[in-house]
């Protein structure tokens, strides 16, 4: 039997060094079209092209100051406030000539990601920059969502990671393409809710900035090495992105219901469905989600009776193979949700969520408020092999639809907006010579 040297004893492993001219620059970009923004307005950030520069993924952040005017004290911004003001996030190349990513309901998406990827303590640790809570409210386990204003005219600042195809890339992204990021603000009614009759009458975003790190390699040798690694001057970078689409489920729906989503992707890694509330659920269709298979208990009542099941279907295959029952195993629905993004999969001690039992137990007729929303989500990891280095590791929906099958043993009592979030692989291809870029999903 041959002896294999462990890597901890491989003293001959080569040590590389960066060229002495290498430097990292913190880029800070202001909007190219506006100095302040209100509702339903585009904010355009043009990232400068740089022949020798490479964007550091994960370093992008959005920062701004918000002034919010409401009809009375206690109007509350929903979700994670730093994102709630934005309805859409788009990424273009060549200063807006080609769209490579467009995410609808961006604030709602980020709210779900923070609820299912961060623990309560992690959200609390970032509460100041995310705009969660105000300067005088003592944090508890049940108020780490939204921000209730102390005055009818209030101003505060926020800063948060800007998730997009660039920040999700697995390698440094050449900055020579002239990327453009466009954020579109949401409507007043989707952003804030009141404890009573309080409503937001206007808001204004100023001091808007997108910041990121850019590494500059001012070395002909480095450029030559990159060109050698390319194919006819083109390089491919694996990234990932999210889509959010919605449809309506009518009141009085009963029995087996199939909701069809025409999302076409080559590699879907994760699926998450949420079920928008209405009536006494004050956060609206994008920030409340309730279990539509149960409708008999209020928020503070004993656990609901009855219940149905949920399952996804893609190309004839079920995810999971046996539908998850809310009557027999609602905890299994919660556990599957904790694993749905893949990174926490099969690791009990690394499952990170900040969803409280009282939030996950919200059913169709439960009452909610801005600080305590309904957070019943149905999520599934559908990756073929978690953590795989393959370019496409998920399942394809290019030739089929994505179906959400729901078993409703009792008729629904109100209309629900059902939304589907897809996490999918995307391949960003950049032509180093023509400075063009394209994306394959």
CA angle in degrees (0–180, nearest 5) for 138-139-141:
145
DSSP state of 338: H
Query: Is 370:283 a contact under the CB 8 Å cutoff?
Result: yes
Residue 141 has pLDDT above 80, yes or no: no
* CATH class of the structural domain 22-229: mainly beta
More confident residue, 283 or 345: 283
Reading the block at residue 346, the tokens are 């099969």
Residue 136 has pLDDT above 90, yes or no: no
pTM of this prediction exceeds 0.85: yes
pLDDT, tens digit (0-9, with 9 covering 90-100), for 295-348: 765 455 566 667 899 999 999 999 999 999 998 889 999 999 999 997 544 455
Report d(CA 393, CA 396) in Å as an integer: 9
More confident residue, 365 or 288: 288
Q: List the domain boundaries for the chain.
A: 22-229, 238-427
Q: What is the DSSP string of 81-148?
A: HHHHTEEEEEEEETTTTEEEEEEESHHHHHHHHHHHHS-HHHHHHTHHHHT-S-TTPPP-TT--SSEE
Question: Residue 384 is inside which H or E element, if any?
Answer: none
Report d(CA 171, CA 236) in Å as an integer: 10
Reading the block at residue 55, the tokens are 């964007």
* CATH 3.30.70 is the classification of domain 238-427: no
pLDDT, tens digit (0-9, with 9 covering 90-100), for 11-34: 887 877 888 888 999 999 999 999
């Amino acid at each position: 039997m041959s002896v294999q040297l462990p890597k901890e004893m491989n003293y001959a492993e080569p040590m590389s060094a960066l060229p002495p001219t290498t430097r990292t620059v913190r880029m800070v970009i202001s909007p190219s079209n506006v100095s302040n923004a209100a509702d339903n307005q585009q904010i355009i950030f043009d990232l400068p092209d740089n022949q020798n520069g490479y964007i550091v993924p994960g370093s992008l952040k959005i920062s701004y100051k918000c002034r919010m005017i409401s009809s009375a004290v206690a109007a509350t911004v929903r979700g994670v406030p730093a994102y709630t003001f934005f309805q859409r996030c788009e990424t273009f190349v060549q200063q807006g000539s080609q769209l490579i990513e467009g995410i609808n309901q961006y604030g709602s998406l980020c709210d779900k990601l923070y609820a299912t990827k961060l623990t309560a303590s992690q959200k609390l640790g970032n509460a100041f920059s995310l705009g969660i809570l105000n300067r005088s409210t003592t944090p508890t386990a049940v108020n780490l969502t939204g921000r209730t204003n102390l005055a009818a005219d209030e101003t505060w600042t926020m800063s948060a990671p800007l998730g997009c195809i660039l920040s999700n890339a697995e390698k440094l992204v050449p900055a020579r393409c002239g990327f453009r990021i466009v954020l579109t603000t949401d409507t007043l009614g989707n952003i804030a809710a009141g404890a009573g009759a309080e409503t937001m009458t206007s808001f204004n975003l100023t001091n808007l900035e997108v910041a990121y790190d850019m590494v500059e390699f001012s070395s002909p040798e480095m450029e030559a090495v990159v060109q050698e690694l390319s194919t006819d001057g083109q390089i491919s970078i694996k990234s990932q992105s999210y889509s959010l689409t919605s449809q309506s489920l009518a009141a009085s729906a009963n029995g087996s219901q199939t909701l069809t989503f025409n999302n076409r992707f080559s590699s879907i890694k994760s699926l998450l469905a949420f079920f928008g509330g209405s009536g006494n659920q004050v956060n609206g269709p994008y920030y409340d989600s309730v279990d539509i298979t149960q409708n008999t208990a209020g928020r503070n009542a004993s656990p609901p009776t009855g219940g149905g099941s949920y399952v996804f279907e893609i190309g004839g295959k079920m995810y999971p193979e046996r539908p998850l029952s809310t009557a027999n195993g609602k905890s299994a629905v919660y556990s599957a949700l904790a694993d749905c993004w893949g990174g926490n999969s099969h690791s009990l001690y690394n499952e990170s969520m900040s969803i409280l039992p009282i939030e996950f137990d919200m059913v169709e007729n439960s009452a909610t408020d801005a600080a305590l929303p309904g957070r019943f989500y149905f999520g599934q990891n559908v990756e073929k092999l978690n953590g795989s280095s393959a370019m496409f590791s998920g399942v394809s929906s290019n030739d089929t639809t994505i179906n959400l099958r729901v078993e409703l043993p009792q008729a629904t009592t109100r209309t629900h907006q059902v939304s589907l979030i897809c996490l999918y692989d995307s391949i960003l291809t950049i032509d180093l010579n023509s400075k063009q870029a394209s994306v394959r999903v």
